[in-house]
Amino acid sequence: MAPSMTCDAAGELIALAALGVLDADDGAVLDRHIAVCARCRASALMAQRTAAALPESLDLLEAPAGLRRRLLTAVYSSAGPVQPRRRTLRDVWRRVPRSRILTALAPLAIGAATVLGVWSLTRTDSAQVETFPVQASTSLPTARGVLTFYVTRSHSVLTVAGVPTPATPGQLPNVYEIWLIPSNGGPKPVAFLSPSPSGGDWTAVVSGDLRGYRTLAATIEPPGGEAKPTGPEIFSIPLS
């Protein structure tokens, strides 16, 4: 198939495409040309790489900390156990032993690997997940929810409903601060509740192993939070 446009005309479209301002119709014509013209394909690759360098010119800004917290809360809340990667024939081939002794043992090895593979693909992580229900306090009897502790990851996701937006005494609103209370010692601040991006629920991600703590609790605190609880408790979660 002959190129559907001249290389000179393609050069103009390539530059526009690299900067993201080529319309779809012209893009289709360009696609047809670079599919059959190695020179223009090379030019397009160069133009694409040059344009990709433009963000490097920016002086980096600090992203808001709340953004990271909200994103991680959403992601950890939606994640199930990490999916096992599908085994490919290449993976199996790599495991075929090359020495004679190992080759003789290959059927046994393959049999054992099959049993192990089936076991690893079919087992669930249910034993690695613990859940704890929210117990509302008299100051916020509508609070309900659950804390899910992913044991192997040492991360927990707290999801709570029935929690209103905290009051705004000044320019900034109060916060819901989360505390872990050990068997011995004072409460440790670990997270803030954030409104879920999908609305309705409030969520928090708590990093670390919950074993060794007897209770998780939430209090209302001034903007920015406190090092020790000062406000009323809105709910608690016994961890035993």
Partner 1 sequence: MEQPDSTTLDLLTRESPEAFEVIYDRYGRLAYTIAMRVLSDEAAAEDVVQESFIAIWRRFLTYRPERGSIRTWICSIVRNRAIDRLRGESGRLRYELALDESRGEPSLDDTWSQVVASLTRERVQQALRDLPVEQRQTVELAYWCGVSQSEISQMMRVPIGTVKGRIRLSLAKLRESLQGKEEEAWHRP
The answer to whether 132 and 149 have CB atoms below 8 angstroms apart is: yes
Write out 156-205 in H/E/C secondary structure: EEEEEECCCCCCCCCCCCCEEEEEEEECCCCCEEEEECEECCCCCCEEEE
19 belongs to the binding site for partner 1 (CB under 8 A): yes
Q: Which of 1, 2, 56, 107 binds partner 1 (CB under 8 A)?
A: 56
Q: How far apart are CA 153 and CA 151, in angstroms?
A: 5
79 lies in the binding site for partner 1 (CB under 8 A) = yes
Asked if residue 125 binds partner 1 (CB under 8 A), the reply is no
* Cα 84 to Cα 192: distance, rounded to the nearest angstrom: 32
Closer to partner 1 by Cβ: residue 144 or 153: 153
If one asks whether residue 59 binds partner 1 (CB under 8 A), the answer comes out as yes
85 interacts with partner 1 by CB under 8 A = yes
**Tokens 């859940």 found at:** 131
Q: Does 61 bind partner 1 (CB under 8 A)?
A: yes
Query: Which residues of the shown chain bind partner 1 in the complex (CB under 8 A)?
Result: 11-12, 14-24, 26-28, 30, 34, 38-39, 41-42, 44-64, 67-68, 70-72, 74-76, 78-80, 82-85, 153, 155, 197
